Amino acid sequence: MQNSYQESLDISKQLEKEGKKVEIKKWLIVAIIFVGMIALGAYFMTTAGKNEKIKYLTAAIEKKDLLVKVSATGNIEPTNTVDVGIEVSGTIIEVGADFNQQVKRGDILARLDTTKLESKVKNSQAALLVAKANFLEKKISLEDTRNELERGKTTYKSTSGKYPSDKDLDALTNNHERALANYAASEAGVTQVRAQLKSDEDDLKKAVVKSPINGIVLDKKVEVGQSVVSVMQIPVLFTLAEDLSKMQVVLSVDEADIGQVAEGQNVEFFVDAYPHEQFQGKITQVRLNSIIVSGVVTYATVVAVDNPRLLLKPGMTTSADIVTEVVKNRLSVPNSALRFTPKDEKKDEKNQGKQVWILENNLPKSLSVAAQKSDGIFTAISGEGIKEGMQVIIGTQKEQ
């Protein structure tokens, strides 16, 4: 029994040893595979690096005319707009124009109910008649007192001051002065009532709103039956544009660029409605008053634009380029040539953009240049050894 137990114990120990050997073999195999993969990857990377070549992309230095531009955004506006309002209160009984309608000067745009206004005119007319009658009465009274005073003075003189008495003569004089004052007051009353009548008649005329210009209706803010009240502010009923074949673009030019902008400069711009069509204009005004929004300072610049096809409409947003200078027949390179630096070279931040690179014996060589005006794509340059037709590096491309 004891021998059997001992044999079982020996067998267990032998199996445990065999299991450890198998586990060690597995780990050795995994380690060998891992090391092999690393070695294989290193080999391919080294081979690829040796086979990879760098191709330099070049462009020729050429003489070009450069348009130096300043970019800005803005909106299209009519050259002349008129807000047509009404100076009297009432109810609209007629509207004679609608959106986009062509109107001529004198055309009726709207009409008020004139019942109350006509009544005021009639009252003023009656008041004028009363004032005139009162004036006539005061005039007659003035003549009477003047005649009595003259007779009193004549009698007083002929009687050597005995008749009438001084008191009676003073009374005649006072009556005449009083009549004269009443006459002047009645005359002023006539003038006042006549002015009121004219005002009421003008209000009656203003109840009919007429177009002050030949143009087109851009906006209508009134309908039949609507009440308008003209007390503290004149209500605007219509907005008219005089001529949409002549428009203007109001650009917002950044303060950093405004020094380059002046009247008479040409402007090229686009609108979203016609992305493939370029429009032209000319600056007519650079306004001195600045506009500050969220700390950004801009200046309004007005551009006159011909709009014969009426493609441009009020309010459209524009993206514009102002041609501030034309640089003619200057040696120029693509801007990418001024930004290029070979991979193994360190960028000189102080001299960045003031050198170009050429190929000499298939290796990059730098040439110092003076960068001048740019149109955003090409830059005019000058420098020793710079010639037309010379190839400058603008970038690189990897080859296998």
Instruction: Find out whether 62 and 334 touch, Cβ atoms under 8 Å.
Output: no
Task: Let me know if residue 24 belongs to a domain.
Answer: yes
Give me the mean pLDDT over the 319-335 stretch: 95
198 and 121 part of one domain: yes
76 Cβ partners below 8 Å, 6+ apart?
247, 248, 249, 271, 305, 312, 313, 314, 315, 316, 318
Of 206, 224, 254, the position where a domain reaches its end is 206
> Could you say which DSSP state residue 346 is in?
P
**Tens digit of each residue's pLDDT (9 = 90 or more) over 55-101:** 889 999 999 999 999 999 999 999 999 999 999 999 999 999 999 99
Task: Let me know if residue 163 belongs to a domain.
Answer: yes
127 and 202 part of one domain: yes
| CATH (domain of 389) | 2.40.420.20
**What's the chain's average pLDDT?**
88
Element (H, E) at 126: helix 115-158
Sheet containing 102-103, strands listed edge to edge, beginning at the edge strand earlier in sequence: 81-85, 236-241, 215-220, 102-103
60 and 21 part of one domain: no
194 and 179 part of one domain: yes
DSSP 3-state assignment of 48?
Answer: helix
pLDDT on residue 92: 97
pLDDT on residue 15: 46
195 and 120 part of one domain: yes
Task: Let me know if residue 279 belongs to a domain.
Answer: no
46 and 118 part of one domain: no
Q: Give which of 339, 344, 375 is closest to 354, Cα–Cα.
A: 339
* pLDDT grade for 339, boundaries at 50, 70 and 90: very high
Task: Let me know if residue 106 belongs to a domain.
Answer: no
Give me the mean pLDDT over the 244-262 stretch: 96
> Residue 146 is encoded by which pair of tokens?
């003047």
Q: Is the pLDDT of residue 18 over 60?
A: no
Q: What Cα–Cα distance (Å) separates residue 222 from each residue in 133, 217, 242?
A: 44, 13, 20
Does the CA dihedral 283-285-287-292 come out positive or negative?
negative
137 and 198 part of one domain: yes
Tokens 């200057």 belong to 330
Of 206, 228, 258, the position where a domain reaches its end is 206
pLDDT on residue 30: 57
Q: Cis peptide leading into 78, omega within 30 of 0?
A: no
Task: Let me know if residue 235 belongs to a domain.
Answer: no
192 and 127 part of one domain: yes
Q: Is the pLDDT of residue 2 over 80?
A: no
**Tens digit of each residue's pLDDT (9 = 90 or more) over 115-144:** 999 999 999 999 999 999 999 999 999 999
345 and 360 part of one domain: yes
| CATH (domain of 165) | 1.10.287
Percentage of residues of the chain with pLDDT beyond 70:
84
Does the CA dihedral 352-354-360-362 come out positive or negative?
positive
Task: Let me know if residue 268 belongs to a domain.
Answer: no
8 and 61 part of one domain: no
- Write phi, then psi, for 389 (nearest 5 degrees): 90, -15
Residue 131, domain extent: 114-206
195 Cβ partners below 8 Å, 6+ apart?
none
Task: Let me know if residue 306 belongs to a domain.
Answer: no
DSSP 3-state assignment of 327?
Answer: strand
Question: Cα separation of 386 and 366, whole Å?
Answer: 11
Q: Is the pLDDT of residue 288 over 60?
A: yes
> Residue 247 is encoded by which pair of tokens?
């428009």
Of 186, 206, 226, the position where a domain reaches its end is 206
343 and 373 part of one domain: yes
364 and 386 part of one domain: yes
Task: Let me know if residue 125 belongs to a domain.
Answer: yes
Structurally, how many domains does the chain consist of? 3
Range in 12-21, 87-96, 134-143, 187-196 the model is least confident about: 12-21
